[in-house]
Structure 1
């Protein structure tokens, strides 16, 4: 089934979802289902196997998480005492697994007692994760490698599994998970429902479809692999390799690139070097690469989404599978950033080093203009005019720490700058008390000097008991 030029015409409450899910969706701010969600959710709820092909940022995560939760809630209405692992969601990277887990926690915020979700993709010890699986959580999220490790340790039981979902299916085989996926399939019951989500329909996806799906419905959105031009505008700048640092510094310092930005490089070393370069000019940023622990990477993504950092430098490393690269360096092969991760409110994607494939460029660009959001590049040609030297300079902003500097501390060279120094004036002038006792007032002429001694007037001496 293919859909072209259509818009979502069905609302979430018309799909037949539980009220608790609808409340969670409203809390997330999802006004209406995307096209892939509108078509995929009813099919999945009907028990059909589904292959979803849609560009990155089109809402594929919601297209499979919502029906999985709905089916679990429906089964527990029939049998409230039912407690077994009903759904397994596989993702190629830890970051994507963590993101799916976060989305599902948000979707089950109103029914968390009825639907338990566990993410076992982290690189923790198997024995440490065993308590998470003892009570048979309803949904388990994992990478294929971690799922196989738990199956071998007999800490994960999939005998009663009802649903299998594989996200970013086109990456599974290319990341070397073919044997792991086959191992997981051997542990599943004969009858189960499955769904595949992918941005492309490559040969690997078609091979995975033959292994996993049965009489599947294929949903293909006939659209460009990139966001439309009304959402995403592409620019290119030619420069020598030695000039890239200066160009990037100029774009950031002059404010020609505004909003949250992701800078992509191809190696870990370049990632660190670029951060050190920006740090010299007090341009704060965080980094993401395969040498960082999974917890640190997820923390960096969270801080970027929360606005702690506006710039993130990410390495998309094709050398993970390259035997010529030094293998002594500790790299995580379950690392991936340009695929599936939902960075919030990203305005700009900067390819500091150009990707090595077209697909890589497509998925890098997919980190912005997600859903109906727009990038910030559309206004950049207008902003380039600020480079003209005949433009009026903007007045410098006054920092809080120098907003009330006393005038005598300000250098003469800065006193001429208007608006830089603000000196607080006293609200009220000091007024001496008007009710002063005039009985003992003595004029200065009443004092007389004799041999360097002061002779007090007679009335003052009488007051103090002196003669």
Structure 2
């Protein structure tokens, strides 16, 4: 176990190449994170690493930096070009993220260090020419890498020096155990290996025995989530039917501000919620396993750039539950279930690892079935030094799941981590009729049609992304993913909030009232009040400790 009491190191004290230091500086990183500070020197010494650090702690750069440094060191004596490093991740989105980090950190030595992401949905034969050029770093999912090796496109046995498995605790759960074991037979006997994970599960221990040799174990952060001064966690207990009413009022009254990820537990639920919000002209884009991988990555990129403020994401941990529920159906429904199941991508992940940037809020519209899933969902916000809010809508059926999360996360039963918010539901009763009216328009048929329409649209977008936009990168901004799926059903009068519906405590929030301009910000007193409350997205709620 590594000693955490060692003297802190800066990047320039780690013996890194000047070109690498310049690229790090261009990312705006002044100081290494804890995982980077501890792991990079050990990796540069050639040690195998098993590193556990929470989501958002900088694990990707912790293995990319030593990989680039070692490749640069080896170039001086290299006689021929060869693949030196292999990075495996369980999801295509994570591959894309690792690739972008690799490209950014090798930007000042791009001629010496070349990276290639082979995880995309392109045909294997079309990637063969790129692999024949023998890039220094190859990034992919285990099944994709194995397919290229067995197809004769990739040879690693005589050249590989470094192996990384990122999000190692997900590799077996994504069904890659057999692929990993087969893949190891195509690797050299001696190589440096890194296992990076947010948890040290039994699967990680099994991988450790297969891959690592006398590793240094870094277990750097006991806290599974950011501290309470950076991450505020709330829950609202409500009826299942009230969830739609609550999310409508929270978003429409701007009680939730900033970039938000809204998690649901099934793909149908994802589209049902999107269609519901469209009734009130609240734009959102969906993210699920049915969409092409290039579209999914593009959605994440545009969300990070600030093009979207709201993403409705289907958590991959709930996909199996949806599949099992479909198996009980008969007739046409069974055929439909089979058709949809074929379109799902097992190499999909949203709640784990993906680097959503500057996320202000995570809302659990559906509470996850596992505590670990809750941790990784909430880990999308309060990353780095930023602050964030997590809000969970809890129905009666989900109370036991909330209790399980509290048991794991709370050290003191009298001081819960996920604090309850109780407020007067009667203050938003005026919105109930509108919410019910909108929800009635979202039928099973409209959800199915929207689901198919979105898939067709994104498949078309995916083709455009692969061809046209490669040559016209500036036009990429034109392609949006938050377009309405049922524009004909949207009622114009639902877009605004009339003054008579405003809760008494919100009457001062003039910017959401119909009778005044949308951009109205009030006088100096209103501006001062807004500035004071700006940091807390749920500022209108008042927290009261639940009575025992």
Q: TM-score, normalised by structure 1?
A: 0.81
Q: For residue 275 of structure 2, what is the aligned residue in structure 1?
A: 276
Q: For residue 66 of structure 1, what is the aligned residue in structure 2?
A: 65
CA distance in 2, matches of 1:349, 1:399: 25
CA distance in 1, matches of 2:297, 2:154: 24
Q: For residue 337 of structure 1, what is the aligned residue in structure 2?
A: 350
CA distance in 2, matches of 1:50, 1:227: 24
Secondary structure of the residue that 1:130 maps to in structure 2? Answer: helix
Return closer, same or farther for 1:175/1:16 CA change in 2, 3 Å cut-off.
same
The equivalences for 1:212-361 within 5 A come to: 212-318=211-317, 320-321=319-320, 324=324, 325=326, 326-329=337-340, 330-361=343-374
Is the deviation greater in 45-54 or in 313-322? 313-322
> Does 2:109 correspond to 1:116?
no
Q: For residue 163 of structure 1, what is the aligned residue in structure 2?
A: 162
| 8 Å contact kept, 2:83–2:134 | yes
Q: For residue 139 of structure 1, what is the aligned residue in structure 2?
A: 137
CA distance in 1, matches of 2:387, 2:503: 25
Aligned length: 398
Q: After TM superposition, give the deviation of residue 278 of structure 1 in Å.
A: 1.1
| 8 Å contact kept, 1:76–1:82 | no
Structure 1: unaligned runs, 5 residues or longer: 401-467
CA distance in 1, matches of 2:229, 2:150: 50
Q: For residue 536 of structure 2, what is the aligned residue in structure 1?
A: none
Q: For residue 422 of structure 1, what is the aligned residue in structure 2?
A: none
Q: After TM superposition, give the deviation of residue 388 of structure 1 in Å.
A: 3.8
CA distance in 2, matches of 1:233, 1:7: 31
Q: After TM superposition, give the deviation of residue 374 of structure 1 in Å.
A: 1.3
Q: After TM superposition, give the deviation of residue 78 of structure 1 in Å.
A: 2.9
Q: For residue 128 of structure 1, what is the aligned residue in structure 2?
A: 126
Q: 1:392 aligns with which of 479, 498, 508?
A: 508
Is the deviation greater in 218-227 or in 290-299? 218-227
CA distance in 1, matches of 2:509, 2:256: 18
| 8 Å contact kept, 1:339–1:363 | yes
Secondary structure of the residue that 2:260 maps to in structure 1? Answer: strand
Q: After TM superposition, give the deviation of residue 337 of structure 1 in Å.
A: 0.6
Q: After TM superposition, give the deviation of residue 222 of structure 1 in Å.
A: 3.9
The equivalences for 1:368-447 within 5 A come to: 368-376=381-389, 388-389=504-505, 391-394=507-510, 398=517
| 8 Å contact kept, 2:316–2:348 | no
Q: After TM superposition, give the deviation of residue 75 of structure 1 in Å.
A: 0.5
Q: For residue 17 of structure 2, what is the aligned residue in structure 1?
A: 18
Return closer, same or farther for 1:319/1:244 CA change in 2, 3 Å cut-off.
closer
| 8 Å contact kept, 2:164–2:193 | yes
| 8 Å contact kept, 1:8–1:38 | no
Q: For residue 194 of structure 1, what is the aligned residue in structure 2?
A: 193
CA distance in 2, matches of 1:113, 1:43: 26
CA distance in 2, matches of 1:62, 1:169: 16
Q: For residue 98 of structure 2, what is the aligned residue in structure 1?
A: 100
Q: After TM superposition, give the deviation of residue 9 of structure 1 in Å.
A: 2.5
CA distance in 2, matches of 1:250, 1:391: 14
Secondary structure of the residue that 1:328 maps to in structure 2? Answer: helix
Q: After TM superposition, give the deviation of residue 338 of structure 1 in Å.
A: 0.6
| 8 Å contact kept, 1:8–1:34 | no
Return closer, same or farther for 1:292/1:390 CA change in 2, 3 Å cut-off.
closer
Q: For residue 148 of structure 1, what is the aligned residue in structure 2?
A: 146
Secondary structure of the residue that 2:278 maps to in structure 1? Answer: helix
More helix by share: 2
Runs of 4+ in 1 over 6 A off after TM superposition: 383-386
| 8 Å contact kept, 1:263–1:350 | yes
Q: After TM superposition, give the deviation of residue 8 of structure 1 in Å.
A: 7.9
CA distance in 1, matches of 2:119, 2:105: 20
| 8 Å contact kept, 1:320–1:333 | no
| 8 Å contact kept, 2:361–2:390 | yes
Q: For residue 175 of structure 1, what is the aligned residue in structure 2?
A: 174
